[in-house]
Amino acid sequence: MINKTAFDIIGTYYTNAGTGGYAPGRVCESTVYYLPPGPLNALKFNIDAANRGDAITYSVVQADESTFKHNPVLRPRPLEHDEAFGIVKMKRRSVVLLSPTAVRPSVAGLPKQDFPSVYLACPMFRFHDTHVQEFRLRLEAWEYPFLFHLPPSDEFGILEGFLRLDLVIVIPEGQLRLTGTTLTGDALTALHHCFTWYLTGKMDDAFAKYRGLLLGEVTKILSSSP
């Protein structure tokens, strides 16, 4: 392990959320979807038959231009002429909220459904056997701008792992389930510095100083390894 870990610098990472609601740092459970790196698959069906209410069958096809050019669908579930039902993988996963509750527009005549309550959330991942020790050390030392180390906690039921800032997604409030855990203020500040670095390429001076210290320790450890 690193002699001077990020955990030492930050202190306690997790705390009891109490009666708090949706806020940055709050750990929630949600359904996380993953877009494939290649072409997207979609459902293909007889749109005219669906609109007539006839029995229809579906097939899974690779999405192309025609997938998003069709007559509007009224049933079984509405689709606009440029929409499609995509096939993506989903998984129940813990996430950390990055955004606060936003004030929704309250202009007379503006449909509320156009601006539902949503949150920016970052998926949590745990280490696997394929994650070699060098990778874990470098991740813990904040070497990668899109990865943020999460230490283990028996008290809060969190396995050691990391946040994937490159997989941040928007999740509607109705798809989130609050847990009793939230990041501490110091941990959230470090996460914000890391996220800002990932988004802008600019690093906070204090964050850069600590990162340099940690990476120096990693270099010593790796150079002394057989």
CB 148 within 8 A of CB 165: yes
Residue 49 has a pLDDT of: 87
Identify the CATH class of 6-35+92-224: mainly beta
Taking the CA atoms of 182, 188, 192 and 197 in sequence, report the sign of the dihedral they define. Answer: negative
Per domain, the residue ranges of the chain are 6-35+92-224, 41-86
Rg (the chain; Cα; Å): 22
Name the average pLDDT for the chain.
90
Around 23, how many Cα atoms within 13 Å sit in the side-chain half-sphere? 12
User: How do residues 43-69 score in pLDDT, each as one tens digit?
Assistant: 998 888 888 888 888 899 999 988 999
Query: Is a pLDDT exceeding 70 seen at residue 7?
Result: no
pLDDT-derived band at 3 (thresholds 50, 70, 90) equals low
Share above pLDDT 70 across residues of the chain, in percent, rounded to a whole number: 96
Q: Which residues of 137-168 are buried (b: 16+ CB within 10 A; e: fewer)?
A: bbbbbbebbbbbbbbeeeebebeebbbebeeb
Residue 106 has a pLDDT of: 75
Query: Is a pLDDT exceeding 90 seen at residue 152?
Result: yes
Query: Rounded mean pLDDT of 127-153?
Result: 95
Taking the CA atoms of 74, 80, 81 and 83 in sequence, report the sign of the dihedral they define. Answer: negative
User: How do residues 162-181 score in pLDDT, each as one tens digit?
Assistant: 999 999 999 999 999 999 99
Peptide bond into 76 cis (omega under 30): yes
Query: Rounded mean pLDDT of 93-100?
Result: 96
Chain CA centroid to CA 124, Å: 7
Query: Rounded mean pLDDT of 119-140?
Result: 95
Query: Is a pLDDT exceeding 80 seen at residue 111?
Result: no
CB 13 within 8 A of CB 160: no
Measuring CA to CA, how many Å separate 81 from each of 69, 71, 78, 188? 6, 5, 10, 42
Rounded to whole angstroms, the Cα distance separating 4 from 221 reads: 12
Q: Which residue has the tokens 């601006």?
A: 115
Query: Rounded mean pLDDT of 78-92?
Result: 91
Using CB atoms within 10 Å of the CB of residue 190, give its burial: 0 to 12 exposed, 13 to 18 middle, 19+ buried: buried
H runs (alpha helix) in the chain: 6-10, 47-52, 133-140, 185-200, 205-224
Query: Is a pLDDT exceeding 60 seen at residue 205?
Result: yes
Rounded to whole angstroms, the Cα distance separating 204 from 225 reads: 31
Share above pLDDT 90 across residues of the chain, in percent, rounded to a whole number: 65
Query: Is a pLDDT exceeding 90 seen at residue 122?
Result: yes
List, in order, residues 6 or more apart from 79 with CB less than 8 Å away.
Answer: 70, 72, 73, 85
Query: Is a pLDDT exceeding 80 seen at residue 218?
Result: yes
Two tokens, residue 34:
């993953």
